[in-house]
Amino acid sequence: MNSKDLMKFITDVPDFPEPGIVFKDITPLLADPAAFELSIELLAQRLIDSRAEEILAIESRGFIFGAAVANRLSLPLHLVRKQGKLPRATIGIEYALEYGTDRVELHHDTLVSGRRYAIVDDLIATGGTAAATAALVRKQKADLSCCAFVIELAFLKGRERLDGCRVESLVEYL
């Protein structure tokens, strides 16, 4: 099995969460131990070359993949959360949505200037949340070594919002 084989474990759900959207459901991938193991192995392989020192996993499905990859690579894991979800003092950044704004946050002592961080999430679409996370890393003068995703909706051009960050994706929809 290779990364292209993972596509058969991703189910299209039309009109979810609203009409016109085709949701990419990863629950079949998570339910298949061999497919999930392969996704973690492939993400880990791609992150090794990036020389990441720590992993930032984006809420919420990114936590699943980020935790497994961090464990596989014996790297620290940090959670990127929506506003108000972390229990200690935070740093954050607001970003524009199609209608309004949102905010991602990290604990204030997470990012260290000069350290290399990799962002892990299940999917990149328009790239807003990943771009905000990347901007937060750079704002704290830390280095962004890679942005890794299981799924990339390439037709939405989200990688273009990541300011030259190396982008790795296992399954790409053109």
CATH number at residue 150: 3.40.50.2020
Taking the model in full, what pTM does it have?
0.96
User: Which segment of 39-48, 91-100, 113-122 scores lowest on mean pLDDT?
Assistant: 91-100
**Which tokens go with 124?**
């990149």
Using CA atoms, how far apart are residues 27 and 93, in angstroms rounded to an integer? Answer: 30
Domain that holds residue 128: 51-173
Q: How many Cβ atoms sit within 10 Å of the Cβ of residue 155?
A: 10
The predicted structure's pLDDT at residue 148: 98
Does residue 155 sit within a domain? yes
Does residue 17 sit within a domain? no
Does residue 8 sit within a domain? no
The predicted structure's pLDDT at residue 168: 97
Answer yes or no: is pLDDT of 100 > 90. no
The predicted structure's pLDDT at residue 2: 83
- Distances from the Cα of 119 to the Cα of 20, 57, 62, 130, angstroms: 28, 6, 9, 8
Does residue 27 sit within a domain? no
Amino acid occupying residue 41: E
Which of 132, 165, 148, 2 has its CA nearest to residue 66?
148
Answer yes or no: is pLDDT of 163 > 90. no
Cα angle: 123, vertex 134, 143; to 5 degrees:
125
pLDDT more than 90, % of the chain: 94
Domain count, the chain: 1
Does residue 11 sit within a domain? no
Does residue 21 sit within a domain? no
Round the average pLDDT of the chain to a whole number and report it: 96
CA dihedral (119, 120, 123, 126) in degrees, to 10, reads -10
Does residue 7 sit within a domain? no
Q: How many Cβ atoms sit within 10 Å of the Cβ of residue 45?
A: 13
Amino acid occupying residue 54: E
Q: Are 104 and 40 in contact (CB under 8 A)?
A: no
The predicted structure's pLDDT at residue 99: 77
